[in-house]
Structure 1
Amino acid sequence: MATAKNGAAAAERRRQILDAAVRVFARQGFHTCRVSDIADEAGVAYGLVYHYFRSKDAVLDTLFRDRWSLMTALIEDVDRQDLPVRDKLHAITSFIIDSYRHDPELMKVIIVEVTRAANSFGQTHLTEIRKAYDGIATIVEHGQAAGELRTDITSQFAAMAFYGAIEQVLTSWIFDLLPFGEVEAEQAKTLIVETICGGLDAK
């Protein structure tokens, strides 16, 4: 019983540190903050952060991997479902946009500090980032094979354009370049899919 309680307490303390790191990274930027800033935000001793994470980079790595693995799992699950390709892409768009709605600071950190970061940290996660692109490309390929999507555009290019559109919309919300609210979030889910799948050609 004591071991279980200790394990739960350790997990809670680790989560407390991660949540504090999100707030610090979002507020100050990853490169300008220190481990002591995370400790102060979490209300814990400086050394306790190092007990759970070997470095500031390890904290960011954990935040990214935890969230990104959820998305890649969602993409794989959606692809297994018997749905039209637009519905599959809408499900992915909804997951990402809803993630931003529920935890905007975490999504800001992931986008600004990892997926759009032109630095060594972003480079080390290219394999995981590409896994998501590859999953989306597979969905596009299945849509092409079913005659739902045109075949003169490669699936990889379509996947990058699709995810890039989502990320750009989120970036616009992060930096207040576009208005954000419940209505805008719901509209974006449909507009992104239709822009990519339907294009801008007049019918």
Structure 2
Amino acid sequence: MTSGLAEKKREKYDAILSAALKIFAEYGYFGSQVSKIAREAGVADGTIYLYFKSKEDILVSLFREKLGNLVRMFHEHIHEDDRADDAIRKICELHFTELEKNVDLAKVTQLELRQSSLDLHREISNALKPYIQLIEDVLLRGIDQGVFRPDLDVKLTRLLLFGAMDEVVSSWLISGRRYSLSDQVEKTVDFFLRGLRA
């Protein structure tokens, strides 16, 4: 009985986050009301507050959940014995293909990361930490394997890699998605690896 109740709560939580993703993508964070999210999720306005403290909490939870899913995918596809340059390729490939498949997620992650208030931006940055850490781990592995330059500034390089992928996705959205995002993987990875290789 308890597990069934927990499952129903999780379903409602996921439904609210899915609705929020759609509404934030369509109206932007500041143009979205909790009532619109509730309507899209098929729940009463008050139900939202049983799961989230505020609209800000919904957005931060959305980042945490969706980026957490992305990081889990990376861990499923990247193995300890993979060469680090192959791991960088897989990260870039998954980043581009997943956001190309989920345009609403691409819009929210790209636009809200840039337009949010400082406090909200800080919260979203915390949700990004596991992703940035994953890139750092791959860079360190590459140095240990002798695949990447030993003099890499790992803390800076992890941000440069994430920032470059982020900018490619933003440009794709701004262009009106006139070309394939996943087709940009090879050129992007080639650019990265030229700077990373020993």
Same fold (TM over 0.5): yes
| 1:141 alignment partner in structure 2 | 140
Asked if the contact 1:75/1:92 (under 8 Å) is kept, the reply is yes
Amino acid at match of 1:32: G
Asked if the contact 2:100/2:106 (under 8 Å) is kept, the reply is no
- List gaps (5 residues or longer) in structure 2: none
Superposed CA deviations along residues 118-138 of structure 1, whole A, max 9, x for unmatched, are 621111243443443233122
- Residues 90 and 57 of structure 1, relative CA distance in 2, 3 Å threshold: same
The 5-angstrom pairing of residues 57-68 of structure 1 reads 57-68=56-67
Q: CA–CA distance in 2 between the matches of 1:5 and 1:29? A: 34
| 1:191 alignment partner in structure 2 | 187
| 2:152 alignment partner in structure 1 | 153
- Larger relative contact order (C-alpha < 8 A, sep ≥ 6)? 2
Which is worse superposed, 140-149 or 53-62?
140-149
- Residues 53 and 134 of structure 1, relative CA distance in 2, 3 Å threshold: closer
| 1:14 alignment partner in structure 2 | 13
Number of aligned positions between the proteins: 195
Alignment TM-score, normalising by the size of structure 2:
0.84
Q: CA–CA distance in 1 between the matches of 2:60 and 2:49? A: 14
Identical aligned residues as a percent: 25
Q: CA–CA distance in 2 between the matches of 1:127 and 1:14? A: 21
Displacement after TM superposition at 1:76 (Å): 5.3
| 1:180 alignment partner in structure 2 | 179
Amino acid at match of 1:100: L
Question: 3-state DSSP class of the match of 2:164?
Answer: helix
Asked if the contact 2:19/2:37 (under 8 Å) is kept, the reply is yes
Q: CA–CA distance in 2 between the matches of 1:145 and 1:48? A: 50
- Residues 15 and 74 of structure 1, relative CA distance in 2, 3 Å threshold: closer
The 5-angstrom pairing of residues 20-99 of structure 1 reads 20-75=19-74, 80-99=79-98
RMSD of Structure 2 on Structure 1 (CA): 2.5
- Residues 50 and 130 of structure 1, relative CA distance in 2, 3 Å threshold: closer
Asked if the contact 2:23/2:37 (under 8 Å) is kept, the reply is yes
Alignment TM-score, normalising by the size of structure 1:
0.82
| 1:170 alignment partner in structure 2 | 169
Q: CA–CA distance in 2 between the matches of 1:16 and 1:128? A: 20
